[in-house]
Amino acid sequence: MWHHGRCQARSDPTFHRFHLATARPPPGRHDGTFDQNRQHASDSSARWEKRARVFAAVVRLLLALLRASGFSLVGGRLPEGSAKAAILRAITSAEAFLPLAIILRIIGLEPGRYHAWRRAENVCELTDRSSCPRTSPGQLTGNEVSAVKEMVLAPEHRHMPLGTLARYAQRIGKVFASASTWARLIRERGWRRPRQRLHPPKPTVGVRASQPNQIWHIDTRVIKLLDGMKVYLQTVLDNCSRKILAWTVTERLDPSNTCQALLAAGKHLVTAGRPLLYADSGVENVNGAVDSVLLTACLDRILAQVEIAFSNSLIEAYWRSLKH
């Protein structure tokens, strides 16, 4: 009876719940599983840290060896398409862990060059064009490119346009290339031609006469009076003696005033001579009426800074002294 009651109690669900509750450890005690898991996690972390330190040391050694070998993608060619594809695949796999800018900085690849490789990869053109002269007979050699650079940057050729410079190089047998090829080389390599302007040497001393009535100067000056009225003062000056030979004052600029001044100055000619008349190219000096007077008075007109390099500075200096 007792054995039968014991078996019946074990089959009762209430008995099972009571047995489980009594089998559990008290709240302040545990069986050591948590400590084992924590120790395992600590050991794994230590192993990963050791591996990371080993990998960092290997990377530092490889970078030191790479720098010592002198290899760099900066300024160097990588013509093989397979090598470029391998580098692009390595960059793609590294992008999951590092930003693209840091990756390019580590391997020394310019961003523009990287994106150019990516665009070429899409059209299957990673391999560079061969630079062998046999496969490209029309391509310029290194010596020819150097000759083009020398002529483009030479100061003595800065006055030549690019097309003229290309034809000149062909004429002297230095470089046989079209002007468009020269322009492409200049654009690709960033050459800047000298831009200094060439000015002819200016005379430091003006024209000088050795005797009176050899050279005359004529010019017109606008003078503003106190009442606001403007008058035109025209003067004929002798170069040797600095004497005012004739002058006129009129209210308007008229060629007849020049004729009157020249006829009045002609009275000072005591010897048979033919003075040179320096004048500017103003309308009061270059016209038919003045030409006839010059022929009558036996004068030869010379336009300053047009027919000669000298200016009409002598009479301009007289105007400055008159003003001040």
Q: Are strands 215-224 and 276-279 parallel, antiparallel or unpaired?
A: parallel
Confidence of residue 199 (pLDDT cuts 50, 70, 90): low
pLDDT band with cut points at 50, 70 and 90 for residue 9: very low
Average pLDDT score over residue span 10-33: 52
Rounded Cα gap, residues 71 and 91, in angstroms: 18
Are 285 and 316 in contact by the 8 Å Cβ rule? The answer is no
**Residue 4: band (very low, low, confident or very high) from pLDDT cuts 50, 70, 90:** very low
Q: Are 170 and 176 in contact (CB under 8 A)?
A: yes
What pLDDT is stored for residue 150 in this prediction? 93
Find out whether 295 and 270 touch, Cβ atoms under 8 Å: no
Q: Do 119 and 158 touch, CB atoms closer than 8 A? A: no
Q: What is the pLDDT of residue 2?
A: 42
Q: Around 260, how many Cα atoms within 13 Å sit in the side-chain half-sphere? A: 12
**Residue position matching structure tokens 């005012």:** 244
Q: Is the dihedral of CA 40, 44, 49, 50 positive or negative?
A: positive
Angle at 114 between CA 108 and CA 119, to 5 degrees: 170
Tokens of 243: 């004497």
Tell whether the torsion through CA atoms of 136, 138, 143 and 148 is positive or negative.
Answer: negative
What's the whole-number mean pLDDT along residues 19-23?
50
The per-residue pLDDT for 3 is: 46
What distance in Å separates the CA atoms of residue 286 and residue 297, rounded to the nearest whole number? 16
Question: Given this structure, which CATH class describes domain 215-323?
Answer: alpha beta
pLDDT at 283: 84
Q: What is the mean pLDDT of residues 119-127?
A: 70
- 307 against 49, higher pLDDT: 49
151-196 pLDDT per residue, tens: 999 988 888 899 999 999 999 999 999 999 999 999 999 898 887 6
Distance CA 314, CA 304 (A): 11
Rounded CA separation 235/258 (Å)? 9
Residue 208 has pLDDT above 80, yes or no: yes
> Distance between CA 14 and CA 20 in Å, rounded?
10
The distance from CA 241 to its chain's CA centroid, rounded to whole angstroms, is 55
How confident is the model over 48-102, as pLDDT tens digits?
888 888 888 777 777 777 777 666 666 566 667 777 888 888 888 888 877 888 8
Q: Does residue 1 have a pLDDT over 50?
A: no
Compute the average pLDDT of residues 214-230: 88
Question: pLDDT at position 152, please?
Answer: 92
Quote the pLDDT of residue 93.
Answer: 83
pLDDT at 134 exceeding the cut of 70? no
Contact yes or no for 126/114 (Cβ under 8 A): no
Per the CB < 8 A criterion, the answer to whether 283 and 315 are in contact is: no
Report residue 310's pLDDT band, with 50, 70 and 90 as the boundaries: confident
**Residues composing the chain:** 324
pLDDT above 70 for 263: yes
Give me the percent of the chain exceeding a pLDDT of 70.
76
What local confidence, expressed as pLDDT, does residue 153 receive?
92
CA atoms of 238 and 214, how far apart (whole Å): 8
Percent of the chain with pLDDT over 90: 14
Report pLDDT for 7: 46
Average pLDDT over residues 276-293: 86
Cα–Cα distance for residue pair 234/318, rounded to 1 Å: 12
Give the sheet arrangement for strand 276-279, strand by strand: 244-250, 230-238, 215-224, 276-279, 300-303
41/131: higher pLDDT = 41
pLDDT at 135 over 70: no
Domain boundaries, the chain: 74-130, 142-189, 215-323
